[in-house]
Amino acid sequence: MTPFFDHLRRKVESGARISETEALELFASTDLLAIGELAALANQRQNDDRVFFNVNRHINYTNICVNRCTFCAFSRGVEDEGCYTLTLNEILHKAAEASAGGATELHMVGGLHPSLPFDFYLEMLATLRADNPKLHLKAFTAVEIDYFSALTGLSPGEVLAELKRAGLGSMPGGGPKSSAKRCGSGSARRRSPASAGWRSSKPRTARG
């Protein structure tokens, strides 16, 4: 272990907070094993052997995506066999099933659909929130937020504020890989909503 990680280990063991400079250095480090060891140590100190989990249901509202990342086995084009987009009623039905089965959370992500309007997602959240006030709504990858931003002309912060107002509780931890510039080459065939013709496409309703 390097002197830097030795220093951090002593801080973690004593319960001291790391500084902003140290956090940035840690963020830039590629020593995953050392970072993992420190994370395990911090977790053990905080939580001992306790683990926490929730019961959730995944709902993927559409697998149609304009990005078509080369590593993605989930996405389809609008003409492809196996492509689908759930109606709002189908989503509500799945949520009701989940709630009846004891779920405490919905985990919802999907492809970057070429013609669903932003209002569809707001309505989905608001209706789910009204129907299932006890279900936590975790939804949208970072690349979806980026896409909604390009779609609406709102900043990512404004998009998130709208989604939160509609009922969004949190976001899952996936997706930024597809919008990060340094990872972009080779990972996605089409990455920009505007260049994919999104803004000029005609929204349609997906209500069933």
**Nearest-5° Cα angle at 119, 141 to 135:** 60
Work out how close the CB of 6 gets to ligand SF4 at its nearest, in angstroms, rounded to a whole number: 38
Interface with ligand SF4, residue 67, by CB under 6 A: yes
Kindly identify the residues of this chain, within the stretch 99-138, that bind ligand SF4 according to CB under 6 A. 111-112
Q: x/- contact string, 147-186, with ligand SF4 (CB under 6 A)? A: -------------------------------x--------
Cβ contact 178:191 at 8 Å: yes
Report the number of secondary-structure helices (H) and strands (E) in the chain. Answer: 9, 3
**Rounded Cα distance, 35 and 190, in Å:** 34
Query: Which range in 38-46, 64-72, 116-124, 129-137 contacts ligand SF4 by CB under 6 A?
Result: 64-72
Query: Which range in 23-31, 39-47, 69-77, 86-94 contacts ligand SF4 by CB under 6 A?
Result: 69-77
Which amino acid, residue 58?
Answer: H
Binding residue for ligand SF4, selected from 91, 108, 128, 143, defined by CB under 6 A: 143
Kindly identify the residues of this chain, within the stretch 74-93, that bind ligand SF4 according to CB under 6 A. 74-75
Place of tokens 């989940």: 98
Place of tokens 């013709």: 197
Query: Which range in 20-28, 44-52, 65-73, 97-105 contacts ligand SF4 by CB under 6 A?
Result: 65-73
Which amino acid, residue 1?
Answer: M
Distances (CA, A) of 207 to 89, 121, 126: 7, 11, 14
Work out how close the CB of 174 gets to ligand SF4 at its nearest, in angstroms, rounded to a whole number: 8
**Rounded Cα distance, 85 and 82, in Å:** 10
What residues line the site for ligand SF4 (CB under 6 A)?
Answer: 65, 67-69, 72, 74-75, 111-112, 143, 178
